[in-house]
Amino acid sequence: MSNPSHEAIIAASILSADFGYLADACCRAVRGGAAWIHVDVMDGHFVPNLTMGPVVVEACRRATDAVLDVHLMVEEPERWLEPFAHAGADRLTPHLEATRHIHRVLQRIRALGKGVGIAINPGTDHRLLDPILSLVDHILVMTVNPGFAGQAFLPEVLPKVRALRTHLDELGYTHIPLAVDGGISPETLPHAYRAGARIFVAASAIFHHPQGIEAGIAALRHAIPNKP
């Protein structure tokens, strides 16, 4: 089971935010209870979409002191570490599948003084993470195939989340929390929580909530099982 000291974290993914009011969206998300702002960077190659660059991270950094987690869905993430680090990212989360030099990438993130994340796609065997577990601060498991917001949660990924949590604990990595990203809503969050996830990245459920950003986060927090 996940380390009980891992408090549940809501990470607001600005992929679904109104970019005409980005600073306000970030501030409202944090006021509403999001501990992290999640920035999805896509290059049109690793995933079939093109999104945002360092200038967006700079804008988020000016708007909030919350943790900025930059999710690098890009080929050759090593080319983008410095630009996003200097833009104000607190954590950098590249994909295991995106580079042949993952040790070098993670070591460079640490050398830049940033938190080290690693992301894996739904079809990737979690045991491929074993050689780099000593280098990471959190693991992001995609619960959709990456590239677009608003996709349906893939329940078949839950056994992998559960197996990864058990595997980490057996190896002594109880301190590494698991994040899930994709289709996270008040309906799917409890299932991911019970599987061992503690960081919940949500976009549409927050920024497209009919009652507003704060209500979207409140609904997610209300869905956390056994919360204090």
Please determine, for residue 81, whether its predicted confidence score (pLDDT) is greater than 80.
yes
CA proximity to 88, closest of 107, 119, 65, 72: 65
Average the pLDDT over 176-186 and give the result: 97
Please determine, for residue 227, whether its predicted confidence score (pLDDT) is greater than 80.
no
73 pLDDT tier (thresholds 50, 70, 90): confident
Please determine, for residue 70, whether its predicted confidence score (pLDDT) is greater than 70.
yes
Choice among 43, 69, 90, 181 that is catalytic? 181
181 assigned to active site? yes
Given this model, what pLDDT does residue 145 score? 85
Please determine, for residue 32, whether its predicted confidence score (pLDDT) is greater than 90.
yes
Is the CB of residue 124 less than 8 Å from the CB of residue 98?
no
189 pLDDT tier (thresholds 50, 70, 90): very high
- Of 41-50, 106-115, 191-200, where does mean pLDDT reach its minimum? 41-50
18 assigned to active site? no
- Of 32-36, 42-46, 117-121, where does mean pLDDT reach its minimum? 42-46
Distance of alpha carbon 162 from alpha carbon 110, whole angstroms: 27
74 pLDDT tier (thresholds 50, 70, 90): confident
Mean pLDDT of the chain: 92
Distance of alpha carbon 75 from alpha carbon 47, whole angstroms: 9
For residue 205, the one-letter residue type is A
Extended beta strands in the chain, E state: 9-13, 36-42, 67-73, 91-94, 115-120, 138-142, 178-181, 197-202
155 pLDDT tier (thresholds 50, 70, 90): very high
pLDDT in tens, 94-107: 999 999 999 999 99
Is the CB of residue 111 less than 8 Å from the CB of residue 135?
no
Choice among 40, 43, 69, 90 that is catalytic? 40
pLDDT in tens, 38-50: 999 987 667 666 6
